Amino acid sequence: VEDHERVIAHHTQQRDYLQALAVMSKQQSEEVYYKFSPVLMFHAPAQTVDAWIRAGDMLIPRKLIPSLMRYTRDRNAPNDRNVHHGIRYLQFCVSKLDSTDPAVHNYLLSLYAIQDSDDTALLEFLSRENFYYDLTYALR
């Protein structure tokens, strides 16, 4: 009956997050992504970001920032040790979707700044010719 929202809600209540993501990826309503992404990003960040990337320009990255803010990288997870999935998605938005939204650029900048690794990615981002982040924000 095409009631994807109810099916996704059922799977998340059953803690079957990968199945919820599979159903979410098969439907065309962007609102469903925004509604369920916070819980999915918390429990299955890599797969959630993969679903967002597959959805491409159907989604508005600014509306996914609250979901990204709920994400905390688990340093003990064997597959996620050096990957920050929030950065991975925002890099996709900036490089592939050509996002010019200052909120996306500002949040990516802040994630680069708090990242534990070297500052290469941050410096590369700051040295881009076209920038859309708030300069005052960047200095802070």
Give the closest residue to 105 by CA, choosing from 63, 61, 69, 50.
Answer: 61
Give the closest residue to 105 by CA, choosing from 117, 123, 91, 119.
Answer: 91
pLDDT for 72: 72
pLDDT for 70: 84
pLDDT for 134: 92
pLDDT for 74: 56
pLDDT for 115: 83
The tokens for 118 are 């070297």
pTM of the model: 0.89
pLDDT for 130: 84
Low-confidence ranges of the chain (pLDDT < 50): 75-76
Which 3-state string (H, E, C) describes 12-55?
Answer: HHCCCHHHHHHHHHCCCCHHHHHHHHHHHHHHCHHHHHHHHHHH
Give the closest residue to 81 by CA, choosing from 117, 108, 49.
Answer: 117
